[in-house]
Each structure stands twice: as structure tokens, then as C-alpha cells.
């Protein structure tokens, strides 16, 4: 019983990381569309099939860490202090995530994403998944019980806020503008429940 995950899993993770790093480097050097899967595989010194055993698609190479995003969102819901209101907690988390991805160091990557229709499309589908996960977290939260539809709606609104902020000229300002709207929408679901 190895507390540090066994050598096999470490090797696997290393291979995965090597592929992701190589891919990102090549994409940034030559442009996403100009780099083929075969190029990435060759440069990372793995077979094409190996690459696809670690990543479901070419786009997934770019959004390698998207599960962190998902985790942080659900954590913001399920891990908040008792009686701490939901929407402000989500607001803080989204704000942190927006700051994170509009940081200068991340700029080239996001410029690449914005420049590729395939990547933008993929990002949307990733966000849809995040919205579903977030909806499940909200629906499962005992604090204020809400209907399935309402929690899915709020979840989508929150993800929308993130998407809008990322594209806005003033990302933090966009969060400040959209979240009061979400707060109001949220209040409606609570009001109808009290009635």
C-alpha cells in the first residue's frame, strides 16, 4: 500500500504532463491550427494512440486543467461556512477565477483560444459541463432548497457571468455588473419558496 501513488501512476501522470506541455509549447510557437496531432506526438515522443489515451481530443490538450475550475466552483458551494449566503460565495470564486485567467502570464494562451473557432467552441462545451456540475452542487445543498430547474438556471447564469467577464474589456467590472442581476434572480427563487 503505497501512500505516494505507485510508480505506475506517477509515470502515467508524467507522460500526460509531458504531452500537455509539449502541445502547449508547440501551439504557442507555431499556432494551434498549424500544429498537427502527429507533430505533438512526435515531439513528446509518444505514439498518436497514446496521446489519445490521455486526452480525448486535440482541443482537450489546451484545456488540460479544466477540472480544477470545476472543482473550485463546487467547492465554493459545498465548502462554505454555515449560513454563508450562496451567491456572494460564488461571486468571490468567479472573481478569483477571472483574475486568474486574465493575468498577464495567461494572456498568450487565451489569445490563442480566442483566435481559434474550434477552441472557442470546445470551451463552450466545457462550460456547459461545468454548469451541470455546479447545478448539481447547488441542488444538493441543503441550506436553501431550490428546484432542479432553478438551480440549473442559476448555475448557467453564473457560468455566463464568467464567460462575459472573460470577454469584456473590464472583466472585474463585468462581474460587478452581472452578479447583482444573478442575486436578484436568486431572490426570486427564495421568495416563491417562502410563499
Partner DNA sequence: GACCGTAGCACTAACAGTTAGCTTTTTGAA
Partner DNA sequence: TTCAAAAAGCTAACTGTTAGTGCTACGGTC
Report what 57 binds from its own copies, DNA, none; CB cut-off 5-8 Å by kind: DNA
Instruction: Convert residues 54-93 into a mask of x (bound to DNA by CB under 7 A) and - (unbound).
Output: x-xxxx----------------------------------
- Site membership for DNA, residue 189 (CB under 7 A): no
- Site membership for DNA, residue 31 (CB under 7 A): no
- Site membership for DNA, residue 129 (CB under 7 A): no
Report what 8 binds from DNA, its own copies, none; CB cut-off 5-8 Å by kind: DNA
Determine how many CB atoms are found less than 10 A away from the CB of residue 49. 8
Q: Which range binds its own copies by CB under 8 A, 21-29, 37-45, 67-75, 123-131?
A: 123-131
Instruction: Calculate the alpha carbon distances from 5 to 1, 9, 12, 37 in Å.
Output: 9, 6, 11, 29
Nearest to 159 by CA among 52, 85, 76, 80: 76
Q: Which range binds DNA by CB under 7 A, 8-16, 82-90, 93-101, 162-170?
A: 8-16
The burial of 173, by beta-carbon neighbours within 10 Å (0-12 exposed, 13-18 middle, 19 or more buried), is given as exposed
∠ CA 35-103-173, nearest 5°, is 120
**Cα separation of 12 and 123, whole Å?**
25
Task: Name the site residues for DNA (rule: CB under 7 A).
Answer: 1-2, 6-9, 11-12, 15, 35-38, 45-50, 52-54, 56-59
Amino acid at each position: 500500500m503505497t501512500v505516494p501513488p505507485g510508480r505506475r501512476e506517477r509515470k502515467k501522470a508524467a507522460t500526460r504532463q509531458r504531452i500537455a506541455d509539449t502541445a502547449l509549447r508547440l501551439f504557442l510557437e507555431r499556432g494551434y491550427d498549424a500544429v498537427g496531432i502527429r507533430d505533438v506526438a512526435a515531439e513528446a515522443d509518444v505514439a498518436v494512440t497514446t496521446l489519445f489515451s490521455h486526452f480525448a481530443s486535440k482541443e482537450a490538450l489546451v484545456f488540460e486543467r479544466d477540472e480544477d475550475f470545476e472543482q473550485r466552483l463546487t467547492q465554493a458551494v459545498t465548502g462554505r461556512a454555515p449560513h454563508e449566503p450562496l451567491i456572494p460565495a460564488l461571486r468571490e470564486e468567479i472573481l478569483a477565477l477571472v483574475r486568474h485567467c486574465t493575468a498577464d502570464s495567461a494572456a498568450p494562451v487565451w489569445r490563442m483560444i480566442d483566435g481559434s473557432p474550434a477552441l472557442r467552441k470546445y470551451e463552450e462545451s466545457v462550460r456547459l459541463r461545468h454548469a451541470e456540475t455546479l447545478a448539481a452542487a447547488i441542488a444538493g445543498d441543503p441550506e436553501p432548497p431550490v428546484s432542479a430547474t432553478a438551480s440549473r438556471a442559476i448555475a448557467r447564469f453564473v457560468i455566463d457571468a464568467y464567460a462575459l467577464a472573460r470577454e469584456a474589456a473590464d472583466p472585474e467590472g463585468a462581474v460587478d455588473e452581472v452578479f447583482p442581476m444573478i442575486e436578484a434572480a436568486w431572490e426570486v427563487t427564495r421568495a416563491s419558496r417562502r410563499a
